[in-house]
Amino acid sequence: MLIDIGVNLSNSRFEKDREAVLKRAQEAGVERLILTGTSIAESQTVVDICDQYADQFPGMLYATAGIHPHDSSGYNRESATVLRTLAQHPSVVSIGETGLDFNRNLSTEKEQQLSFEAHIELAIELGMPLFLHERDAAQRQIEILKSYRDNITEAVIHCFTGDKKTLFNYLDMNLHIGITGWICDERRGLELQKIASNIPLNRLMIETDAPYLTPRNMPKTPKNSRNEPAFLTSVLAGLCAVRSEPEDVIAAETSATAIKFFGLAE
């Protein structure tokens, strides 16, 4: 069994064939998916998708609820209320995607930090784990997380692509690390390939971030270049290539960690 902890299944690229995508995931051994909420609208949509397919794919779909740093400018009292309500839905297992992104700054740094801290406070209030994004903002993100760490239940740095120093800073705070197809990229993933063995197995989870980051180690890349949950097996293979544990052990342990982290039914 594999668990994909980060799937953008609400993305329009899945609009015409979501059911087929879910079936292919099951056939590939990917039995559970955490659908990523990236805005109020998208968080509502992923919850709706969980409801829509609950009977057809029982126990397979879960969701996060949050506002991506790119959309932090839209965070206000109204969105905070909606987010709190969404978080009560039985399919929602984490608060996020939230964090800081100083690479593109689609929202100002101040707006991002206000939204990030509000998400942290909501997660603490509800006793839920955090699903975190960070790009080119490690120092400030770490500072903020440190100030709240004693009260945060759990947190995962989703789609980690940072350097060794950043990785160790996150691990020093006992955070979890999510690895995507970035580990399979012979161009951009070299640094991650060098340091991935430093992640304790009980702090490691895997994800596709579909439809993005299609693994480049696949024997045959899909013509539309769309990533999907069934390709999580390629992420696993890429990880196995740079770690000492056998594939079945990494698969079992990352799944067990995800079950515990998100509080999924056994």
pLDDT of residue 111: 97
Instruction: Locate 87 and state its tokens.
Output: 């978080």
Element (H, E) at 2: strand 2-7
Element (H, E) at 132: strand 130-135
CATH of residue 50's domain is: 3.20.20.140
Closest listed residue to residue 39, CA positions, set 133, 180, 135 = 133
Strand partners, 179: 206
Q: Quick check: helix, strand or coil at residue 118?
A: helix
Rounded Cα distance between 57 and 175, Å, is 30
Q: How far is CA 28 from the centre of its chain?
A: 20
Contact 4, 262 (CB under 8 A): no
Task: Summarize pLDDT for 205-216 with one digit per residue, the tens.
Answer: 999 999 999 999
Task: Summarize pLDDT for 67-126 with one digit per residue, the tens.
Answer: 999 999 999 999 999 999 999 999 999 999 999 999 988 999 999 999 999 999 999 999
pLDDT of residue 247: 97
Rounded Cα distance between 151 and 134, Å, is 20
Give the full edge-to-edge strand order of the sheet including 176-179.
2-7, 30-35, 61-65, 92-101, 130-135, 155-157, 176-179, 204-206
Binning pLDDT at 50, 70 and 90, where does residue 5 land? very high
Residues 6+ apart with CB under 8 A from 58: none
Question: How would DSSP label each residue in 194-211?
Answer: HHGGGS-GGGEEE---BT
Task: Summarize pLDDT for 141-176 with one digit per residue, the tens.
Answer: 999 999 999 999 999 999 999 999 999 999 999 999
Is 12 a residue whose pLDDT tops 80? yes
- Domain hosting residue 71, numbered range: 2-262
Number of domains in the chain: 1
Torsion of CA 89, 92, 94, 97, to 10 degrees: -110
User: Average pLDDT in the 11-15 region?
Assistant: 97
pLDDT of residue 121: 97
Binning pLDDT at 50, 70 and 90, where does residue 266 land? confident
Rounded Cα distance between 76 and 95, Å, is 16
Output the pTM of the full model: 0.97
pLDDT of residue 213: 97
Q: Which residue has the tokens 């987010």?
A: 83
Binning pLDDT at 50, 70 and 90, where does residue 223 land? confident
Rounded Cα distance between 2 and 88, Å, is 26
